[in-house]
Homo-oligomer: A and B are copies of this chain.
Amino acid sequence: MPLHFTTEQRLDDGVLERGFSLDGIPGILWTPAPSSAPAPLILLGHPPLGLPAMHPRLAARARLAAADGFASATIELPGSGERPRLDAVDQARSALRRALAAGEPVSDEIIDALVLPLVDKAVPEWRATLDALLTLPEITGPVGYSGGVISIGVRLAAVEPRVVAAVLYAGSYIPRAIVEEARTVGIPLHVLLQWDDEGNDRQAALELFDAFGSREKCLNANMGGHTGVPAHAGEAAGRFLARHMR
């Protein structure tokens, strides 16, 4: 499936930002200021809030990566932004809200219905995006993955051999099946956890970290609440990727 560029913009630091469409899925590619060598690629994951809303934060991460010589790319998640809603996931989200409002425990059934359809649909899309991007002369391997819905990151790390290292952001609502898949992950991992994120299930995050089969895995836990990842933690994640992608 070929990739079509839809927009093109040269940012003030020389980074080239191009919107693209792949089989109707919108995406963005950032490549470092022109040089002769093709750039290794980081896939930028994000929460299901829609690419337009996430754009400023994604562009900031891509520009930091470009300063290290890396290209970055992202695509819209299934059911987010301008893509068709996923009815089953929307129903599970309603069930989740009802359970939380009633002070009831969130059942495994709700978690599975909320997360697994998203993972099942998103991961093949990220892999197809990788197929298309790696045909571009300005992009090369190895490939890293960073951020986003952690269950998508786990599945991608488990099944996609071109991804050599991943930065994962700890999150709640992790299906048991994903914890089991984590045991099959072997690539180096750097897991960011906001220790005082009250909306996050810390114990679930620690159990998932423990489950990863990787011989090299690092848990980097910090304070600052859900969105308050300290600058030094972002820099450490960048150093991790650079170490494994060079």
Contacts and interface: CB of A to CB of B under 8 A. Distances in A.
A132 B56 CA distance: 52
A195 interface: yes
Contact of A219 (B214, B217, B220): B220
A246 to B, nearest CB: 13
A57 interface: no
B223 A210 contact: no
A218 B221 contact: yes
A215 B223 contact: yes
B222 A218 contact: yes
A195 B219 CA distance: 9
A100 interface: no
A193 B218 CA distance: 10
A233 B239 CA distance: 11
A159 interface: no
Nearest to A191: B221
Given A206-B206, A239-B232, A218 B215 contact: no
A82 interface: no
Interface in A157-177: none
Contact of A220 (B215, B218, B239): B218
A68 interface: no
B217 A220 contact: no
A219 B209 CA distance: 13
Interface of A: 193, 195, 206, 209-210, 214-223, 230, 232-233, 236, 239-240, 243
